[in-house]
Structures are given as structure tokens and as C-alpha cells.
Amino acid sequence: MSALPPPGTPLCALDVLGDPDARGFAFGEGTDLVRLFVVRKDGVLRGYVNSCPHAFTPLDWVPDRFFDREKQHLLCATHGALFRVADGVCIRGPCLGKALTPVPVEAADGVVRISARP
Ligand code: FES
């Protein structure tokens, strides 16, 4: 996996994220491309690398569409794996038990950023 952007890297304004909601971001290009997304649900912000542990595709075929229809779980559009928002663990689908790679994020002064905290 390519390196994540450094701590402090801004991702988006906090107020563009609903609840529940998610937004994807891409940094670098070619072999250095890294995709990640932030998700807010029940008031909690989390970040994950946007790469499904099944076949390593981005979860969202339609940009920023990361949730299932009920907006309860994260959905990989490629083969339908469902992931818990809280810890990124796959609870249904071909990568059952595997997990998305977490990305530390935080919000301060209305901006969502990559965080140094794990
Ligand atoms: S690539 Fe995500 S379920 Fe297959």
C-alpha cells in the first residue's frame, strides 16, 4: 500500500459530511495512488483506506456512495461485502472476517484532517 498523507493533511470541511455520510479522497497517482474515505455515523468520525480486502477495489462505484441502502453498514459495490462502520470488519460477503485498513482522522476548527493518533 502507498503511504498515507501525513498527519495534518486536510480532507474536507466537517459540515459537508452529513450523519450518516461518507466522502472519498485520492492522493498521489500511478503506483503512489492512495484512496481513503471518511465516514460519520452517530456523531463519530472514522477513516479507512478505500480498498476492499477481497479484491482491493475501491468500495464506491458511484463516488462517495459507501453506505448500504439502510445506511447501517459500509458496502463494497464490487461484490457486495458489508462492513461495520465502527471497526471496518466485514460481516457479510466474500471477505468475511477481514477488515478495512483504518486511517486516523480528526476534526478541529471545522476541518477533517488526517490525524497522528492511531
Ligand atoms: S472487491 Fe469488495 S466484495 Fe469483492
- For 14, counting Cβ atoms within 10 Å of its Cβ (0-12 exposed, 13-18 middle, 19+ buried), the class is middle
Count of residues in the chain:
118
- CA of 75 from ligand 1 middle (Å) equals 9
Cell numbers that stand for 41 in this block? 455515523
Per domain, the residue ranges of the chain are 10-114
Exposed e or buried b per residue across 45-71, where buried means at least 16 C-beta atoms within 10 angstroms of its C-beta: bbbbbbbbbbeeebbbeeeeebbeeeb
Residues of the chain short of pLDDT 70, as ranges, are 1, 118
Fold of the CATH domain 10-114? Rieske Iron-sulfur Protein (2.102.10)
Residue 14: the pLDDT is 97
Expressed in angstroms and rounded, the spacing between residue 32 Cα and the centre of ligand 1 is: 22
Contact 77, 68 (CB under 8 A): no
Instruction: Tell how far the Cα of 1 is from the centroid of ligand 1, in angstroms.
Output: 17
Which pLDDT belongs to residue 1? 57
